[in-house]
């Protein structure tokens, strides 16, 4: 086995590889950018080397810097993780030239499968079923237009290189094709440095099922069963599960055998994933990812295997630990991807500090893979994934119950996140009933993206009690620091001359004023909330967790304060309240006064209008690229563009005014 390896990645996958290497007694070397100097993967590794500034293009994507770090450290091999250099044939070749083992497939396999177009040609030759489509060398708009017409709408325009939903557009009618081609090219070029496109028939209700394959350098190849990855948003996976539910055994076996055939067709070595769409009993090859997948833990949970260990053994020249007939699966597993993003704003990525991050307790049923800790920040420079939550149990129903409970127990505050959204998917009756395909989220938008409801009385009660307890703590500190600890000026009992002892609290709930009156009683408080009386007693606040008996029931919630706001996390719900401050309220400005702001830091990639242009509501005005995804700024109403403040190529900060806009007066 190797003595020392370098992990050419960051975040949760770097930490994941380090854990297996440590178990096997292998020393690890981390690489990091200036933005990641204090990152978890740096702290976990035995050694760490700075390789460049924060942008990935100047650090994690610099093959020469990574190789220099490996050689300087004496690492015998490089594990690329996924993303960054993991499917870069040039990097794999450079590793071989420099005498460093690349823990991945041979260069030829990466080249063959790295291009979706080339891989489809190879699979067609090998007899693997394909989705009808065009993957030709002629990349002119005219050729792509002819191909789309021949295939028949709707079609899917997608980048030939890369994955993760980047450079992908669904086109339902000819009129939208030109814009989709232009947008997909830009996004593919920015994300992968390659704007080659292919066009496929868009299947309306397919399931996305992928096969985990493994091969060694001795001619052995196996499949480690399948994963269902149908729950997707913006063509990116959200929740995965293994095995794929309600899949006929004949189809399951045929897909596995086709995946092994695909791997053998390119003389594959190592871990890989062959992805298929399946619909109406048929299945079709999409692509092969020549690396470890984000969702590999669900396969590990049902097989009891460590796939990173298998990677290391195969890269060292060993044979596969098990043959196909020795592989077994047991139980059911789910993986939910936790992101810093706002589902209500089309999953717009978010940045900021993780002010509270408390995952559920890990055990044989619950696993958390993460690369961040409480207090860390989610940066604009990298993927906004916070963690992967993986659960396992004997059956799908039991595992789903575990998933719902683990999501409810996950405490996260400080950045917008998708935990509530994941919880709604897990709790949806159609998900439990196996009514799953790639259109699931779109089909159930009404339930998965509900209107924001007012914070319930229990949330206001928690917020009020947290402020009361903090006032008491501050008064205690002031008393101890004063010359008279018994001074009545340090009391927080709400005492008033000729009046009931009480405090009044005022909050802003999504802009609406909410008031709570607190009356002091001998053994607690009486809270008047929304015209109702709630008794509260035995309240305590420790390490951000508030426990109290409210209305006769013992309850618990995390309360996170910051920037004049309180976030209350309770049994999977997250409620946000602003503590109403008159001076802040007076200074507040109307956000909708004709100023179109940048939703997050990024770069302007298209300016579609000029000052003076008259536009209709919903018209595209500007396109901003952020975190390798494009975000279109649209006209909020019919009106006139007063001024455009940025040009193509300009960097923009979150909240900066992009365009001044004058809406037409309502008639």
- % residues pLDDT > 90 (the chain): 73
Residue 387 has pLDDT above 70, yes or no: yes
pLDDT for 191: 82
pLDDT value at position 249? 93
The pLDDT score that the predictor gives to residue 404 is 98
* Per-residue pLDDT, 599: 74
Q: Domain coordinates of the chain in residue numbers?
A: 4-103, 132-201, 207-448, 457-585, 595-663
Say what the pLDDT of residue 584 is. 38
Q: Which of the four pLDDT bands, split at 50, 70 and 90, describes residue 651?
A: confident
Give the residue numbers annotated as catalytic, written as ranges: 291
- Class of the CATH domain delimited by 4-103: alpha beta
Q: What does the pLDDT look like over 287-324, one tens digit per residue?
A: 899 999 999 999 999 999 999 999 999 999 999 999 99
Q: Give the pLDDT confidence score for residue 118 in this predicted structure.
A: 81
Q: Classify each residue of 337-362 as buried b or exposed e, where b means 16 or more C-beta atoms within 10 Å of its C-beta.
A: bbbbbbbeeebbbbbeebbbbbbbee
Q: Which of 417, 371, 366, 213 is nearest to 296 (CA)?
A: 213
The residue among 597 and 53 whose pLDDT is bigger is 53
| Residue pointed to by tokens 């990097």 | 91
Q: Give yes or no for residue 591 having a pLDDT over 50.
A: no
What is residue 139's predicted lDDT score, i.e. its pLDDT? 94
pLDDT value of residue 479 = 67
pLDDT of residue 586: 38
Longest alpha-carbon distance in the chain? 92
Lowest mean pLDDT among 47-51, 67-71, 451-455, 631-635: 631-635
Q: What is the pLDDT of residue 164?
A: 67
Q: Say yes or no to pLDDT of 581 above 60.
A: no
- Among 352, 217, 221, 212, which residue's Cα sits nearest to residue 290? 212
Is residue 74 predicted with pLDDT exceeding 80? yes
CB 659, CB 596: distance < 8 Å: yes
User: Residue 20 belongs to what H/E stretch?
Assistant: helix 11-23
pLDDT per residue as tens digits for the range 608-623:
999 999 999 888 899 8
Predicted local confidence at residue 163, as pLDDT? 67
Question: 454, 246 in Cβ contact below 8 A?
Answer: no
Statement: residue 628 has pLDDT above 70: no
User: In the CATH hierarchy, which top-level class contains the domain 595-663?
Assistant: mainly beta
Q: CATH assignment of 457-585?
A: 3.30.700.40
pLDDT value for 248: 93
Q: Residue 179 has what pLDDT?
A: 95
**What pLDDT was estimated at residue 131?**
84
Of 333, 278, 281, the closest CA to residue 304 belongs to: 333
Asked whether residue 96 carries a pLDDT value surpassing 70, the answer given is yes
**Closest C-alpha among 149, 154, 162, 256 to residue 213:** 256
Mean pLDDT of 143-172: 89
What average pLDDT score do residues 112-118 get?
Answer: 81
Which CATH architecture describes the domain 207-448? Answer: 2-Layer Sandwich (3.30)
Reported as type and span, the H/E element at residue 183 is helix 177-192
Residue 403 backbone dihedrals phi, psi, to 5 degrees:
-65, -45
Whether residue 165 is predicted with pLDDT greater than 80 in this model: the reply is no
pLDDT tier, 500 (very low <50, low <70, confident <90, very high otherwise) = low
Residue 589 in this model has a pLDDT that exceeds 80: no
More confident residue, 482 or 537: 537
- Choice among 278-287, 351-360, 545-554 with the minimum mean pLDDT: 278-287
> Which of 48-52, 80-84, 613-617 is the least confident region?
613-617
pLDDT tens for 430-480 read 999 999 999 999 999 999 999 989 999 999 999 999 999 988 887 777 667
Half-sphere exposure (CA, 13 Å, Cβ side) for 303?
Answer: 24
Sheet holding 236-242, edge to edge: 282-289, 270-279, 207-215, 221-233, 236-242, 332-339, 385-393, 366-370
Residue among 452, 459, 450 at smallest CA distance from 530: 459
Q: Are strands 620-626 and 595-597 parallel, antiparallel or unpaired?
A: unpaired
- Pick from 473-482, 489-498, 583-592 the range whose average pLDDT is largest: 473-482
Tokens of 453: 């409801």
Per-chain mean pLDDT for the chain:
91
- The DSSP symbol for 547 reads E
- Residue 269 pLDDT > 70: yes
Distance CA 549, CA 555 (A): 6
pLDDT in tens, 394-426: 999 999 999 999 999 999 999 999 999 999 999
478-497 b/e (C-beta count within 10 Å ≥ 16 → b): eeeeeeeeeeeebebebeee
CATH level 3 topology of 132-201: Dna Ligase; domain 1 (3.30.1490)
CB 208 within 8 A of CB 232: yes
């Amino acid at each position: 086995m190797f003595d020392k390896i370098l992990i050419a990645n960051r975040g949760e996958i770097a930490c994941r590889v380090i854990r297996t290497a440590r178990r096997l007694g292998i020393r690890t070397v981390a690489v990091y950018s200036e933005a990641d100097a204090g990152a978890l993967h740096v702290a976990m590794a035995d050694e760490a080397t700075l390789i460049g500034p924060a942008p990935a293009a100047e650090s994690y994507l610099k093959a020469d810097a990574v190789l220099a770090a490996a050689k300087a450290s004496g690492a015998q091999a490089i594990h690329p993780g996924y993303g960054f250099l993991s499917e870069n044939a040039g990097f794999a070749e450079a590793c071989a030239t420099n005498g460093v083992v690349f823990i991945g497939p041979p260069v030829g396999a990466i080249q063959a499968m790295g291009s979706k177009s080339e891989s489809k040609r190879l699979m067609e030759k090998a007899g693997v079923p394909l989705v009808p489509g065009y993957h030709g060398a002629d990349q002119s708009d005219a050729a792509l237009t002819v191909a789309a017409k021949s295939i028949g709408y709707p079609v899917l325009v997608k980048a030939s290189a890369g994955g993760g939903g980047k450079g992908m557009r669904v086109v339902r009618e000819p009129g939208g094709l030109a814009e989709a081609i232009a947008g997909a090219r830009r996004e593919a070029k920015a994300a992968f440095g390659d704007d080659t496109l292919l066009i496929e028939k868009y299947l309306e209700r397919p399931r996305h099922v992928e096969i985990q394959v493994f091969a060694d350098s001795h001619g052995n190849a196996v499949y480690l069963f399948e994963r269902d990855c149908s729950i997707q948003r913006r063509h990116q996976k959200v929740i995965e599960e293994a095995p794929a539910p309600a899949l006929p055994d004949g189809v399951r076996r045929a897909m596995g055998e086709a995946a092994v055939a695909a791997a053998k067709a390119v003389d594959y070595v190592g871990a890989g994933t062959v992805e298929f769409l399946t619909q109406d009993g048929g299945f079709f090859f999409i692509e092969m990812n020549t690396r470890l997948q984000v969702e590999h833990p669900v396969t590990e949970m049902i097989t009891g295997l460590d796939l990173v260990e298998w990677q290391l053994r195969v890269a060292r020249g060993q044979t596969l630990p098990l043959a196909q007939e020795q592989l077994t699966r047991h139980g059911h597993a789910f993986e939910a991807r936790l992101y810093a993003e706002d589902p209500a704003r089309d999953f717009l990525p978010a940045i900021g500090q993780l002010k509270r991050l408390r995952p559920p307790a890990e055990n044989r049923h619950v696993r958390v893979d993460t690369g961040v800790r409480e207090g860390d920040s989610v940066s604009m420079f990298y993927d906004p994934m916070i963690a992967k939550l993986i659960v396992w149990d004997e059956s799908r129903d039991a595992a789903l119950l575990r998933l719902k409970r683990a999501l409810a127990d996950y405490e996260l505050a400080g950045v917008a996140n998708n935990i509530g959204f994941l919880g709604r998917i897990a709790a949806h009756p159609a998900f439990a009933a196996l009514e799953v395909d790639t259109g699931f989220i779109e089909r159930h938008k009404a339930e998965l993206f509900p209107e924001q409801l007012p914070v319930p009385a229990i949330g206001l009660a928690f917020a009020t009690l947290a402020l009361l307890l903090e006032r008491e703590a501050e008064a205690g500190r002031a008393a101890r620091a004063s010359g008279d600890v018994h001074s009545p000026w340090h009391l927080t009992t709400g005492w008033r001359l000729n009046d009931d002892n009480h405090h009044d609290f005022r909050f802003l709930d999504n802009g609406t004023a909410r008031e709570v009156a607190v009356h002091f009683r001998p053994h607690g408080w009486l809270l008047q909330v929304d015209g109702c009386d709630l008794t509260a007693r035995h309240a305590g606040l420790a390490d951000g967790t508030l426990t109290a008996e409210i209305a006769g029931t013992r309850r618990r919630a995390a309360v996170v304060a910051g920037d004049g706001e309180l976030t209350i996390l309770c049994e999977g719900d997250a409620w946000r309240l602003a503590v109403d401050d008159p001076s802040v309220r007076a200074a507040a400005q109307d956000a909708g006064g004709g100023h179109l702001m940048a939703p997050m830091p990024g770069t302007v990639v298209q300016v579609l209008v000029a000052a003076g242009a008259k536009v209709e509501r919903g018209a595209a005005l500007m396109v901003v690229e952020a975190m390798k995804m494009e975000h279109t700024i649209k006209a909020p109403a019919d009106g006139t563009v007063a001024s455009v403040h940025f040009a193509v190529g300009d960097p923009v900060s979150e909240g900066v005014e992009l365009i001044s806009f004058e809406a037409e007066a309502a008639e």
